[in-house]
Every structure is written in structure tokens, then in C-alpha cells.
Amino acid sequence: MRIQAIARVLPASIALAALMGSTSILAQSRGGTVLAPSNLEKMLPATVYYDGQPAPVQMRNSGGVKFTDGHFVLASLVDTSGYSTGIATKYQGYLIAEVPLKIEDKSLPAGAYGFGFLTGGKFLVTDLGGHDVLTAQSTADAAMTRPRPLQVMADPAGGFRLYAGRSYVHFNR
């Protein structure tokens, strides 16, 4: 009986892998698939522009989602060593959203943004000129056993989580 069940599921898994192309699947949630950081190298630029200067992207600290309609949300930490302390405090990463998002029930239009996880449990999204666009409350995940500097994971309740260490915000379409 187990062999028959596996035989029914296997063709669907192969078909899904073929549809995804070279994109590795880390986890699925209703509405999309979490992408492996190693496959984001083709999608994320090596450097990004923010507040008047370029900054290198940290590919090893990147994550993303491919929604069922083929649109993407990509996030990566950046090297902010060339920025002033004031900017580097609120600009830790780069977010590219091909579709409008809900981040902790706040609306964010499609676009490219800077973001940062701030002290006091705040998540800040800024436009490319460094102006505040959205502020949301972040949550600490004490149950996370192996935090990484940045990662995207499926949320068990639906949607996705953007993590910086153990702090995260929930996002969805």
C-alpha cells in the first residue's frame, strides 16, 4: 500500500520540479514557495542602490518567495560599511517585491526598498532615498533553534516570515 501511495505522489513531485525549473524548493505555503538562497544569485543584483550610493548584496544572507502566479519577493542583507551609522542602523537589507504585500497587516506597494530590524521590536521599510515608508512590529521567535542573519520561511498559519536572526515579520499578498 505504501508503494502505491508513493507511486501516486512521485509523478506530481516530478511535475512540480519541472515547473519550478532550476529553482530549489525549501518549503511551500498556501500561495507560494520559499526559494533556496543558492538559487537567488541569478535573480538578485550583485550591488543595489540606496540613498546615493551602491552597496554589495550578501548572497549567502538572502531569501525569497515565488508566488503561484510566478511573481517574486526577494530579500537580502547588504554590506552597509560605506554608510553613516544613522543610515546603517535602519538600512540592513534590500527588498524587491514584484507585487503589493501585506507586512503585519500593513500595505506595501510593489517596488524596491531598504529595510531594517530595529531595537524595540520594530521593522522599518524605507524607499531608495532613505525615507520611511512602513513601520511594523516584529516578533521574536524563541523556539528557533538555528537562527541565520536573514532567511525567509513559510509561516505555519499561512503566508511567510522574513527573519533577521530570531526576529521576524509576517508577509503575504
Give 84-139 pLDDT, tens digit per residue. 999 999 999 999 999 999 999 999 999 999 999 999 999 999 999 999 999 999 99
Lowest mean pLDDT among 3-17, 50-64, 94-108, 109-123: 3-17
Per-residue pLDDT, 173:
93
Sign of dihedral through CA atoms 135, 48, 52, 82?
positive
- pLDDT: which is higher, 49 or 23: 49
pLDDT above 90: percentage of residues in the chain = 78
For range 21-47, the mean pLDDT: 73
pLDDT at 149: 97
Assess contact for 151 and 63: CB atoms under 8 A: yes
The whole-number pLDDT of residue 52 equals 93
> Rounded mean pLDDT of the chain?
86
18 has pLDDT over 50 = no
Checking 15-21 for CB contacts under 8 A at 24+ apart, the result is 20/66
Summarize the confidence of residues 144-165 as an average pLDDT. Answer: 95
Tell whether the model's pLDDT for residue 28 goes beyond 80. Answer: no
Radius of gyration of the chain (CA): 17
Q: Which cell is 112 given? A: 524596491
- Domain locations along the chain: 22-172
pLDDT at 159 over 90: yes
pTM more than 0.75: yes
